[in-house]
Amino acid sequence: MSVLVIAAHPDDEVLGCGGAVAKYRKQGVPVAVVFLCDGVSSRSEDKKIDLMELHHRRNCAERACNILGAESVSFSDFPDNQLDTIPLLDVVKVVEKYLNQYMPSIVMTHHAGDLNIDHRVTHQAVVTACRPQNDNKIKTLLFYEVPSSTEWQMPNSAPVFTPNWFIDIADVLPIKMEALEVYMHEMREWPHPRSMQGVQALTQWRGATVSVEAAEAFVLGRHIE
C-alpha cells in the first residue's frame, strides 16, 4: 500500500487530508505529496511570482509535510488560480508523471464541487489520469474537502460534497493541527472556516457523524477490492 496526495496549493494537503496522511504514516504506509500550483502568483496585480513569497510558501509546505510524516514532497509550477487557462491535457500529463513515479494504490485529491477553480481542475486532471486502464495500480480514489472552498460552492452550481468515506483521526489530530500552524499566514480568525478553531470543529463534526472523536471526510470516487 502507498498513498499519493495531489493538491492544488500548499495548505490544501493539511486542510483536506492531513490527519489521514499522519495516520497512514503512523501505520508505516508510504505517503507522497504533490502540489500543482505555485500558490502565490495570483496575489500580485501583474500575476508575477514573488520569489521570496514562493520560497516561503514551499518551505512551509515542506515543514508541514514533514510534521505529517510524508516521505516525499514535490512541486509543479502552474499559475495560482489560473489552472483554467492551461490546457487540461498539460495538467493531466504532469499528474500522470507523478502517478508513474510513485505508483500509488491510494490517491487523494480535491472534490469536483469546490469553489476554487484550481481545485476543480486538479480534480478533473486526477480523475482523467487515474482512469482504469490495464497498467493502473490505483485501488482507491478519494476526494477531500477544503474549508472555505468546498462548502462555499452553491448547491445548484456544482456537485455537493456528500461524504461516504471517513477516516478516524482522533489519535493524530494534534499532528494535523501542528502542521496547520505552519501555515498561519494562510489562516484566518474565528469564525472563518479556515481558522484553527474552524478546522478543529469540522474534524469533530465529521467524527460525530460516525460516532468517533474526530474524522476527515471524503467522497469515494472508486474502490477496487
Mean pLDDT by 10 residues, the chain (225 residues): 98 98 98 96 78 94 98 97 97 97 98 98 98 89 98 95 98 98 97 98 98 98 96
Cβ–Cβ under 8 Å, residues 32 and 72: yes
Taking CA atoms, 105 is separated from 5, 129, 187, in Å, by 11, 14, 32
Rounded to whole angstroms, the Cα distance separating 54 from 155 reads 34
Number of CB atoms found within 10 A of residue 79's CB: 18
Supply 62's cell numbers. 515542506
Cβ–Cβ under 8 Å, residues 210 and 11: no
pTM of the predicted protein model: 0.96
Fold adopted by 3-223: Rossmann fold (3.40.50)
Q: pLDDT of 110-167, one tens digit each?
A: 999 999 999 999 999 999 999 998 778 899 999 999 999 999 999 999 999 999 999 9
pLDDT of residue 47: 67
Cβ–Cβ under 8 Å, residues 4 and 106: yes
